[in-house]
Structure 1
């Protein structure tokens, strides 16, 4: 895809964060205008082993179909290509979805009881990462009140847009049918949790970014620090290593500056303070 190579790698690295021992999987939300290729971007991970690709989802559907697989560490991430689809349902269904998924990607699910289902996790807490997309307009839309559940606070937001030069390049690629040659990820994630060593110097260097960008959202930056550390470890696994090095640090730092920083410009301009609600 044109000018999206780094984001493609970010998605793959995010998938590897699900296989780091004793770390919470990083969850990612990609924010871009319609026709920006968001869906095509995440669809590349559709064939990655153990990564369900759900065009629609409810809390009950995820529990019914994937609870046991998440519990057994067969599934570590779920992809929902358009977040507005499950969030566009009736109020109670939407509330149940956001509450359940918020717990799943954040503190973990220990027990689930409702009129429809009763489940108790056999592990200490049931956790799974999420990769999804949304448009800026949908993100601004406050109808439905789903933000008050703090659902967004556990997602690492990245944003992108195209320059006029890139738009012309994309049109040329369409004229030449280059989109027909797009290939899915050939990502081969581990089949068990792995230890990855993060040298303290890299954790310390990324801290300044966590503090600066955390403060931009009126947060301390603790959650972001953990996410960035885990991304560096995921990058090491992606490259077949068990220790973070300078390459991993540079990749994560560039992602923060280029894509998370772009989101923060959007965030501060439109007052997306709800992202830090209930955190």
Structure 2
């Protein structure tokens, strides 16, 4: 059924009353049983549902197809979604607080300016999402696959067994100043195409980056490594050395950085001479600190 028809069917005939019933139950967090809803591929057929601006609290939705549904500006608090499809759904400017998604897909969904806070996303596939100005706060992602991302901010989020498959442009992983270190564990970055990606205060535990020389990575103890690299760089008293020391200070000396946090930057984000000096001094600093037993 074409997308326009999926949407239109909720505004004609019996679809009007059916949409009202579905939205009322979603808002109250009650089950959708007994509404006579059809199924598609074994999932409750909610494709094209007009749920823009929905204010929903609690409840669990299991096994629903919400492809092409409209959740723009919705506020979903404590709602748990399991085995649901949100493929090509519009969740722009939606706010998802608490709750979470498990074994769901959001292929080519629109998540522009959406806010995710305090939930758990497990085994979620986000291939092809539109992510401009998406923000996530205190959210745990496990087994989740991320596509290329642009203008995304993750604050105090944890990532376990996740995979980032594409370019990261102005994507920020912010963990500084949290009571416990924020974690990237068993995470793979398949692409080194980073442009102003920022890792600030995130602990790296078995994190894989492409080994193609495009990135400068300090897998642990960046604060100590940056301090030692700054001392090593004093051999260079020229503008390149000064630029590097300034850059390292800006990234390592702000309050709240844990002693164990890792760090990474794209060489393209630095002037070529500064990038070359950064790579060599940070490498030498790590070697010295390992030899001294300061870092593992």
TM bracket, shorter-chain basis: under 0.3
- Normalised by the length of structure 2, the TM-score is 0.23
**TM-score, normalised via structure 1 length:** 0.24
Q: Which has the higher helix share?
A: 1
Q: Which structure has the larger Rg?
A: 2
